[in-house]
Amino acid sequence: MKTQLFKPNTETSKTRQMTVTAIMGALSAVLMFIQIPVPMFMPSFIKFDVSVIPALITSFAIGPLAGVGVCLIKDLLNLFSTTTGGVGELSDFILGVMFTVPAGLIYKSKKSKTTAIIGSIAGAVIMAIFSIATNYFITYPFYTNFMPMEAIIVAYQALNPKVETLLDALIWFNVPFTFVKGMCSSIIVIAVYKYISPILKYGSTERRTAKGTL
């Protein structure tokens, strides 16, 4: 008869998962305040941030639903200091979900470094594609309350004179920018995941070699 060294406790496991999701959501909210302008590649009102990193880590470690929870907590917390009336947070939440859910589902199907990479790339591509819709129908209609669409287009034309419409700007700039942002976050996550995941799952590093780590 085999002895089960670690007997699962469903209630404890769920409590840990909820706690980890809340903590990672708060960390993600803090990271959202760290925004870096990239004037050589994007207009000044577009900033680079890596606030999706905790959501991707949680999606890998616990599951895609927990990753969605991190995105939700992050954007709800940022509503208290929003400058966009919640529009920016809504767009950020949608894109975060589009990134972390596909990545988490692919990784969950067969937990390995390969599937983590494939999932991250797939998530970044899906997020980049969805950024066209979120920016076109949500974000930029809000921006026009403060900045005329003509001025927005001019800001993009300063970087690429071929831009004539908002859709041109999104395809030329926002889609690749969103993809690169997703991939940068993915590279960091894949580099640190095997050191962090045991702490999230078990509260220590003792089970670092447990099945499912990268």
pLDDT of residue 99 exceeding 90, the answer is yes
Distances (CA, A) of 120 to 58, 112, 162, 189, 212: 13, 12, 31, 9, 16
How confident is the model at residue 56, as a pLDDT? 98
- Residue in 49, 17, 48, 16 with CA at minimum distance from that of residue 30: 49
pLDDT given at position 115: 97
For residue 10, is pLDDT > 80? Answer: no
- CATH number of residue 157's parent domain: 1.10.1760.20
Q: What is the structure's pLDDT at 206?
A: 55
Question: Does residue 210 carry a pLDDT above 70?
Answer: no
Q: What are the CA-CA distances from residue 91 to residues 140, 156, 170 (Å)?
A: 10, 20, 14
What does the DSSP 8-state code read for residue 81?
G
Q: Is the pLDDT of residue 91 over 60?
A: yes
Q: How many domains, in total, are found in the chain? A: 1
pLDDT tier at 199, thresholds 50, 70, 90: confident
Residue 11, pLDDT score: 54
Q: How confident is the model at residue 6 (pLDDT cuts 50, 70, 90)?
A: very low
Residue 153 belongs to some domain of the structure: yes
Instruction: Give 113-165 as a DSSP string.
Output: HHHHHHHHHHHHHHHHHHHHHHIIIIIHHHHTTTS-HHHHHHHHHTT-TT--S
Looking at residue 2, what is its pLDDT?
44
Amino acid 12: pLDDT: 54
Q: Would 207 be classed as within a structural domain?
A: no
How far is residue 214's CA from residue 209's CA, in Å, rounded to a whole number?
9
Assigned domain for 212 exists = no
| Per-residue pLDDT reduced to its tens digit, 137-188 | 999 999 999 999 999 999 999 999 999 999 999 999 999 999 999 999 999 9
* pLDDT > 70 in the chain, percent: 90
Q: Which uninterrupted H or E stretch holds 36?
A: strand 36-37
**Domain membership flag for residue 14:** yes
Could you count the other beta carbons within 10 Å of the beta carbon of residue 8? 7
Q: Is residue 1 part of a domain?
A: no
Please tell me the distance from the alpha carbon of residue 10 to that of residue 124, in angstroms, as a whole number. 33
13-58: pLDDT as tens digits: 888 899 999 999 999 999 999 999 998 899 988 999 999 999 999 9
Considering the domain boundaries, does residue 191 fall inside one?
A: yes
Would the pTM of this model clear 0.85, i.e. be above it? yes
Alpha carbons within 13 angstroms on the beta-carbon side of residue 213 total 18
In a domain? residue 128: yes
Calculate the dihedral angle through the C-alpha atoms of 117, 180, 147, 94, rounding to the nearest 10 degrees.
0
| pLDDT for res 9 | 53
Return d(Cα 46, Cα 8) in angstroms, integer.
46
- 209 within some domain: no
Q: What is the pLDDT of residue 106?
A: 98
Categorize the per-residue pLDDT at 5 as very low, low, confident or very high, splitting at 50, 70 and 90: very low
Q: What are phi and psi of 48, to 5 degrees?
A: -100, 135
Find out whether 46 and 38 touch, Cβ atoms under 8 Å. Answer: yes
How many percent of the chain have pLDDT more than 90? 80
pLDDT of residue 3: 40
Residue 106 to residue 113: CA distance in whole angstroms? 11
Residue 84's domain comprises: 10-34+48-202
